[in-house]
Amino acid sequence: MELLWIPVTASLLAVASSLLGSFLLLRRMALLGDAVSHAVLPGIVLAYLWSGVRELPVMLLGAGVSALVAVFLLQVLQHRFGWHADAALAAVLASFFAVGILLLSAFGGKVDLDVECVLYGELAYVPLDMVTVGPLMVPRAALWALLLVGIAAVVLLVAWKELVVSTFDPEFAEVSGMTPKLWQAVLLGMTAMAAVVGFVLVGAILVVALLTVPAATARLLTARLLRMVGIAVLVSISSTVAGYVAASNLGGAVAGWMVLAATLQFIAAVVWSWLRRCFRPGPSVGVGTTLQRESAGPVLRATGSARGQFRGG
Amino acid sequence: MIEWELFLQGPLFAVFLGNALIAVGGAVVGTFAVLRREGMLADVLAHAVVPGIGFAYLLSAQKELPVLALGAFLTALAAAGAVEVLRRMARLSEDSRLGVVLAASFGLGIVLLTLLQSRQEADQVGLWRFLFGQAAAVRVEDLPLIVAVTALSLLFVAIAFKELVAMAFDAEFLRTLPLPLQWVEVGYRVAVVAITVVGVQSVGALLIVGLFVLPPMAARLWVRRVPGMLVGSIAVALGAVVVGLGLSWNLPYVATGPVIVTAAAGMVLLSHLFAPHHGVLARVWGYGMRWLRRWDEHAHKLLYYGIERSGGECWEGPILRPEYRGGRAGAVLVLVWLWLRGSIRWEGRRRWRVTRLGHKRACQIVRRHRLWELYLERFFGVPADRVHLEAELVEHVLSPEIEERLQELLQRPEHDPHGRPIPPRQNG
């Protein structure tokens, strides 16, 4: 019975990540999530060394500071020093991760974090750390994941219009007084939080899988934003459950199996969308395809009705 | 202290040579990766090495480096192929393609390695070391593979240098030429993957992208051309290896690979601080010198007003006072500055004399100011009460040639719009 908390906790994390990941993907910031999830490592280790306790709030604080520094550095490198985005991302990611591993190896004796935790998290140990909430024994990590989902859901509900408009048309959002930079910062902050909770549960590197793969799968299957977010959530839940089942039957890391399950769904989505485009009559096959491929970005129909649907439904 | 000959023959030299070769190969190939804006693609390929190592061990049950390297090589190439297939088949942006392939291949790798670990095998053969590398454990037996891969990669870059540079900067143009470009492209990809594969045992699959991206980005600040960038990034990479190995040999419990990458990152930081032209210090120095020059010219303008007021080149007392709003301390500062510059001489108590040099400098800046005022009034019709602030800006940037042209254009004027004399140019 307690083992059931593993897929439940993972699903909560995956739902939060896919909510955020959908917007990151549409803003072409998927790799930024990758960089942030690597960059939290030195902050986590330093916070742990400084405080000496392994509590999530402390780690969250350290990771938040570290992620902020990384994002600031990315902006400075790109806009002040003229680096291209890929070089800036790769450089920041590698340096921060190197510093984190360096600290881990240098103070390994004092830190209760190990290298395997960095790689694939401690999802299997979730039921070992329970707290009592009313009549129920709940894992501490599940509470944090639930909080993450709650924050993500509230932000999406409150600022759906602002997020949508600033994703698809930042200039229009700017002149309409929707402060797109603020919402971008909020999105990045929530990504950093997801990276921290994900770091503990599935490891630093597989966070990017939860952020990217369900959102990309959903993007291939639909051209409507609300449906895309819904499909991403479904894909992430199904892949955590399938990953848990596979891991408990075959052995191996739960986090890795979850990513594999998500990848299989992604491959199916690629094949499905490709076949649908091949067999659809009309100008999308043949001459038109090259034109469409150039505009392969977000061609979603994101109108005011999305908000109405969201509120009404 | 290490004995030099013992060092050259011993295992430490193998460690140094192996890491240095990997770093040099990474720097050379990485230069082109950076120029082609494919830094993150290199990271994806590095992550795709992990499942290959798992597969190779699973199928062959051998832990020899060449066998594992072959498996890693194949999966990394497969990942490169997957990115390409997604580019054709799926309508996704580049970053999501890369993110998905990275996540998928790393997830697969984690599953394989944890499965092997649960059979108590991975720890024995040390498969984990390929993730974070064991730079301090490069053995003499591993050297032939590293030497071969690095040498072949460098040879390829040397042969196809022109094409690689052209592809990085103007692929469209290159496609119009009858050249065997697909082979250059394939060779470049194979070189990236091969260096990655042998590099994972130095700094590990998760950090090798640091060896690709950081040295070229440090070198870029010091040079302007691609060959220089190659040489510079090789130098930075070697420096990072020396610093990294030196630190980790002296500090116990510090993993060598991360130290090497951190050292490379430190060199990027130092380059951004100290590089000529683009470095932070060079920019600050430039701003400072420009500010100082303006300040110096303003001081000489004040000197000219002093000359104008007293009607000679010698005056007594704090004559800068009425013109200068900086207070007494500021006036003293200006006087001391002018004295240091050799523009004025102190002749006993409260008596100053303007030197010939100081007079020339003061006339020059005031001449430029008043010429520009006159020019604005005559040719742009700017009212005389509004030309002063404009001229305050331009007086600092007028070159002697333009000043001469202005003199001719305005027919060697005597007075500015306010009726004050324009000091003539003095010869000698």
- The per-residue pLDDT for range B344-402, each reduced to its tens digit, is 888 877 777 888 888 889 999 999 999 999 999 999 988 888 888 888 888 999 888 99
pLDDT confidence of residue A301: 45
DSSP annotation string for A24-66: HHHTT-HHHHHHHHHHHHHHHHHHHHHH----HHHHHHHHHHH
Q: C-alpha angle with apex B257: B253 to B260, nearest 5 degrees?
A: 105
Cα distance between residue A16 and residue A191, in whole Å:
9
- Cβ of B207 within 8 Å of Cβ of A31? The answer is no
Q: Kindly tell me if the per-residue pLDDT of B93 is higher than 80.
A: yes
Higher pLDDT, A96 or A75: A96
Taking residues B102-121, report their average pLDDT. 86
Confidence of residue B319 (pLDDT cuts 50, 70, 90): low
Comparison of pLDDT for A135 and B371, the residue scoring more: B371
- State both tokens at B18: 């192996």
DSSP A62-124: HHHHHHHHHHHHHHHHHHTS---HHHHHHHHHHHHHHHHHHHHHHTTTT-S--HHHHHHTTGG
Query: In A, which residues are within 8 Å of B41 by CB distance?
Result: 86
User: How much is the pLDDT for A112?
Assistant: 62
B137 DSSP 8-state letter: G
Q: What band does A87 get if pLDDT is binned at 50, 70 and 90?
A: very high
Mutation for testing the A interface, residue in B50, B92, B220, B243 having most A CBs under 10 Å = B92
What percentage of chain B reaches a pLDDT higher than 70? 92
- Residue range A116-124: mean pLDDT, rounded: 75
**Residues sharing a CB contact under 8 Å with residue B193, sequence separation 6 or more, in sequence order:** B45, B73, B76, B77, B80
Spatial CB neighbours of A169, under 8 Å, sequence gap ≥ 6: none
End-to-end CA distance of chain A: 34
Predicted pLDDT of residue B19: 92
Nearest CA in chain B to A87: B39
Q: With beta carbons less than 8 A apart as the criterion, state whether B356 and B342 touch.
A: no
Q: Which one of A31, A101, A120 has the shortest CB-CB distance to B255?
A: A101
Using CA atoms, how far apart are residues B80 and B86, in angstroms rounded to an integer? 10
**In the prediction, which pLDDT does A285 show?**
42
Distance from CA of B11 to the nearest CA of A (A): 23
Is A123's Cβ below 8 Å from some Cβ in B?
Answer: no
Closest in B111, B206, B216 to A252, CB measured: B111
Chain B residues lying within 8 Å of A257, measured CB to CB: 107, 111
The mean pLDDT value of chain A amounts to: 83
Nearest CA to CA, how far is A133 from chain B (Å)? 34
Contact B254 A106 (CB under 8 A): yes
What pLDDT digit, counting tens, does each position of A255-279 carry?
Answer: 899 999 999 999 999 999 999 888 8
What b/e readout covers A205-220, taking b as 16+ CB neighbours within 10 angstroms?
bbbbbbbbbbbbbbbb
**Is residue B122 predicted with pLDDT exceeding 60?**
no
pLDDT at B267 over 80: yes
Whether pLDDT at B182 is above 70: yes
Q: In whole angstroms, what is the distance from residue B374 CA to residue A277 CA? A: 71
Instruction: Report the pLDDT value the prediction gives residue A135, as an integer from 0 to 100.
Output: 80
Interface contact B107-A33, CB threshold 8 A: no
Q: Is A258 on the interface with B (CB under 8 A)?
A: yes
Percent helix, percent strand, percent coil in chain A, to nearest 5: 80, 5, 20
Residue of higher predicted confidence among A96 and B143: A96
Mind telling me how many Å the CA of A312 is from chain B's nearest CA?
A: 30
> Rounded mean pLDDT of chain B?
87
Return the residue of B nearest to A250 by Cα.
B115
Q: Biggest alpha carbon distance in chain A?
A: 65
Tell whether the model's pLDDT for residue B153 goes beyond 60. Answer: yes
pTM of the predicted structure, to 2 decimals: 0.83
Band of residue B138 on the pLDDT scale cut at 50, 70, 90: confident
User: How far apart (Å, rounded) are the C-alpha atoms in residues A41 and A66?
Assistant: 8
Nearest to B210 among A94, A212, A257 (CB): A94
- Chain A contact set for B91 (CB, 8 A): 220, 273, 292-293, 296
Contact assessment for residue B263 and residue B239, using Cβ atoms and an 8 Å cutoff: yes
pLDDT tens digits, B190-226: 999 999 998 887 888 889 999 999 999 999 999 989 9
**Which residue has tokens 């594992």?**
B68
Most confident of B5-9, B275-279, B314-318: B275-279
pLDDT value for B320: 60
Whether residue A292 is predicted with pLDDT greater than 60 in this model: the reply is no
Q: Shortest CB distance from B213 goes to which of A90, A102, A253?
A: A90
- Which residue in chain B is spatially nearest to A22 when comparing CA positions? B96
What ipTM was assigned to the predicted interfaces of this complex? Answer: 0.86
Q: Token pair of B69, please?
A: 């390297």
> What's the pLDDT score for residue B308?
80
Chain A interface test: which of B119, B123, B213, B253 (most A C-beta within 10 Å): B213
Q: Could A216 and B37 be called an inter-chain contact, meaning their C-beta atoms sit closer than 8 Å?
A: no
- Which residues in chain A have Cβ-Cβ distances shorter than 8 Å to B93? 25, 28, 30, 296-297
Report whether pLDDT(A296) > 50: no
Whether chain B has a CB inside 8 Å of the CB on A135: the answer is no
Residue A77 pLDDT more than 50? Answer: yes
Q: What percent of chain A has pLDDT over 90?
A: 37
- In tens, the pLDDT along B399-423 reads 889 998 999 998 888 888 888 888 8
SS3 B273: helix
Residue B314: the pLDDT is: 62
Q: Please answer whether residues A54 and B4 qualify as being in contact, where contact means their C-beta atoms are separated by less than 8 angstroms.
A: no
Q: Cα-Cα-Cα-Cα dihedral of B231, B233, B236, B237, to 10°?
A: -110
**Residue B176 pLDDT > 90, yes or no?**
no
pLDDT of B179 above 50: yes
Listed by number, the residues of chain B in 48-87 with a beta carbon closer than 8 Å to a beta carbon of chain A are 86
**In this model, does residue B228 exceed pLDDT 80?**
yes
In terms of DSSP bridges, do strands B344-346 and B314-316 run parallel, antiparallel, or are they unpaired? Answer: unpaired
What digits encode the pLDDT tens for the residues A186-245? 888 888 888 888 887 888 777 889 999 999 999 999 989 999 999 999 999 999 999 999
Task: Look at residue B211 in the predicted model and tell me its pLDDT.
Answer: 94
**Other Cβ atoms closer than 10 A to B301:** 19
pLDDT in tens, B45-66: 999 999 999 899 888 887 777 8
The CA distance from B41 to the nearest CA of chain A, in Å, is: 8
